[in-house]
Amino acid sequence: MNGMNEKFHGVVPAVATPFGDGERLDTGRLRELIDDYIACGVDGISVAGSQGEFFSLDYDEHVRLLETTMDAVAGRVPVYAGTGGVTTRGSIRLTQVAQSLQVDLALLITPYFVQPTQDELAEHFTAVARATELPVMLYNNPPRTGVNVQPSTLVRCMAAPNVVGVKDSSGDITQTVEYLLASGRRALVFSGRDTIFQSLMMHGGHGTISPAANVFPKLVVAQYRAARAGDWAEAGRIHDIMAPLREAWALGSFPVVIKEAMRLVGRDAGLPRRPIAGLSSDRLAKLKAVCERIGAEEARL
């Protein structure tokens, strides 16, 4: 692997932002979660992404989240910081703050609510990349933003030397593989959907920024290690163990199911900010049964 691949790879939990009483940011709990994930063998920490409810944070909270993360990680693994937003101006501002805090990589979601063209997307990402010395990774999540980054647009963005690749949460494995093949300077490609993680690894992908790793980090790490070793039977076995959790995301509105699952396994991060509410008792019981079955498997590792 080249230098970038050695630094940015593997299992990176898409860390859920903990909220306490009154929906306040719980930085103490964030530190505990980060220590726990690193002890479980993860290869990086990602904060202020979709699972981290970046869209619910005001500017000061966003900065405090990054500051706390950098202090808690203390250089043990790379930090991937969500710094994207609706406007280029706002994205540059947060990315420059992240650079001042010495995060390792800026993760830029596509502008949302607005509907930029591919030309506008390329100009947006390139402008942010030019405003920072950080490695920049595009974050494609069309189910949430309504905007898709085409492989040819990634190639255009990678004309900026610090644009290193893409996290793809589209769920379209064909497009995800096209990201790997599209550019002369090979892109780093991470899955943002746990359902395509194994398939992406088989095609030469670099890792996962994983929602499921919030709940069962040891299993996701074991799946990655098996895949890297070419033990596809073991990787597939773990994939199948985790499948019911991925199916359970449909039990509630994003991102409540992951937070409820975290609480059930002892990694409580509170509930999402309103208007998203906790699960009903019957749905919570279904999720608990899923978590207990998977937890029993993780305990055997």
Q: What are the tens digits of pLDDT across the range 249-296?
A: 999 999 999 999 999 999 999 999 999 999 999 999 999 999 999 999
**Residues in CB range of 33: below 8 A, 6 or more apart:** 15, 16, 18, 267, 269
Question: In 160-236, where do the E strands start and end?
Answer: 163-168, 188-191, 207-210
Of 80, 139, 179, 224, catalytic: 139
Q: Taking 90 as the threshold, does the pLDDT of residue 184 lie above it?
A: no
Q: Under a CB-based contact definition with an 8 Å cutoff, are residues 7 and 78 in contact?
A: yes
pTM exceeds 0.95: yes
To the nearest 10 degrees (0 to 180), the angle between helices 256-264 and 232-248 is 110
Annotated binding site for pyruvate: 209
Distance from C-alpha of 233 to C-alpha of 197, rounded to nearest angstrom: 15
Report the DSSP pairing between strands 207-210 and 188-191.
parallel
Q: Taking 80 as the threshold, does the pLDDT of residue 2 lie above it?
A: no
Q: What are the tens digits of pLDDT across the range 5-59?
A: 789 999 999 999 999 999 999 999 999 999 999 999 999 999 999 999 999 999 9
Q: Is 218 part of the annotated catalytic residue set?
A: no
Confidence tier at 202 by pLDDT (50, 70, 90): very high
Annotated binding site: 209
What pLDDT is stored for residue 151 in this prediction? Answer: 97
Going along the chain from its start, the domains and CATH numbers come out as: 3-239 (3.20.20.70)
β-sheet with 79-82: strand ranges across? 10-13, 207-210, 188-191, 163-168, 136-140, 105-109, 79-82, 45-47
204: left (phi over 0), alpha (psi -120 to 50) or beta: left
Reading the block at residue 86, the tokens are: 């609706």
What pLDDT is stored for residue 281 in this prediction? Answer: 98
Q: Taking 90 as the threshold, does the pLDDT of residue 3 lie above it?
A: no
Of 37, 80, 112, 167, catalytic: 167
Q: Is 7 part of the annotated catalytic residue set?
A: no
Mean pLDDT of 145-162: 97
Q: What are the tens digits of pLDDT across the range 94-147?
A: 999 999 999 999 999 999 999 999 999 999 999 999 999 999 999 999 999 999
The continuous run of DSSP H or E covering 122 comes out as: helix 118-130
Q: Taking 50 as the threshold, does the pLDDT of residue 1 lie above it?
A: no
